[in-house]
Chain A
Amino acid sequence: MGESLCAQTGLIRGHGGDEVEAYLARPSGEEARGGVVVIHHMPGFDRATKEIVRRFAELGYDASCPNLYWREAPGAAPDDAAASARASGGVPDERLIGDVGGAAAYLRSLPSSNGKVGVIGYCSGGRQSVLAACNLDLDAAVDCYGAFVVGTPPEGYPLQVSSLVDQLPRLRAPLLGLFGKEDSHPSPEQVAELDEILTANDKPHEFHSYDAAGHAFFAVDRPSYRVAAANDGWERIGAFYGRHLAGV
């Protein structure tokens, strides 16, 4: 495999058949490969997220990230779109599932697809990655410090977020979880609780929690970036997807 890749923004079919903007990055060449759906963090469909999508192409996957805020703010700057989506209550779970499902179907429709698609999400996208893997046919899921997979949001929360505990028994894909020990959402106790629930339900999973790292340690453009945790995390992701998304 060479190092050339192609990246572009286009439209895919998302929840309810809606056209939704998505960023697509693909390695050059025609060899069969897996796909990765990237779920952006709460600050939106931003430059840092698109760098992550391109990194998956560099790792050898067809990768796509749907713009979850496209409906609220088509064509807006990512920060304005995120503000608009926040003010209107966030992304409903049902719509998220539809949009990730649309991105996965798009990846599987590519001539280079080997039929396998994984999902990964950061921050709020970490929870949404688990949500997608409980409701869609995916081959591997990665949760990067998603809050409220377990645990209950405070009463009166204006955003549409709820615990996924009742959905975890139907998790359909192996789960890789990457967490910071200094994070409070999810806290180490909540990570342990999720670990116990998945073990009790015989769900294959692999968790890594990093010292001296809090929330958003993968975010290279934020003070929360922790190079050691992020580097090891990328290694874990590469190995995990290598096991579950490989094949022709």
Chain B
Amino acid sequence: MCTYATVQTALEGSAKGPGSSWFSVTDGTVYFDHPVHAMAEHTLNIDFADPAKGPSARVAVELTAASARDLVNAIQAALDSAPNDLTL
């Protein structure tokens, strides 16, 4: 199926992307749909992008549903492990 469902969020940070160059990330697009490369029918896909720099300013990640949940937990655990005053 094509889920079409897409969640967008503004982001502030950087990513290392095309041509091994770093760029500022301004937008995150998260969706559960067919992957381009991963060998699964559906994956949780995240695009870290800077649309102002064009369509190729993007780091794409395609994760199975289970590994996406593991990633969510890992991100939460890493944030929780840091002193509160650093992660406000």
Contact = CB atoms under 8 A, between A and B. Distances in A.
Interface residues of A, number: 34
Give the interface SS of chain A, mostly helix, strand, loop or mixed. Answer: loop
B36 A87 contact: no
Interface in A32-65: 41-43
B41 A76 contact: no
Nearest to A76: B55
Contact of A87 (B1, B2, B6): B6
Interface string B30-45: 0101101001110000
Nearest to A42: B2
Interface in B15-70: 27, 29, 31, 33-34, 36, 39-41, 47, 49, 51, 54-56, 58, 60
A147 to B, nearest CB: 6
Contacts, number: 79
B60 A83 contact: yes
Contacts of B3: 185
Contacts of B56: 76-77, 80
Interface string A116-143: 0000000110000000000000000000
A222 interface: yes
Given A43-B34, A87-B47, A223-B41, A153 B4 contact: yes
A87 B49 contact: yes
B8 A185 contact: no
Given A86-B31, A147-B2, 17 more contacts: A42-B2, A42-B33, A73-B55, A80-B58, A83-B60, A86-B29, A87-B6, A87-B29, A87-B47, A87-B49, A124-B4, A147-B1, A154-B5, A158-B7, A184-B1, A215-B1, A224-B41
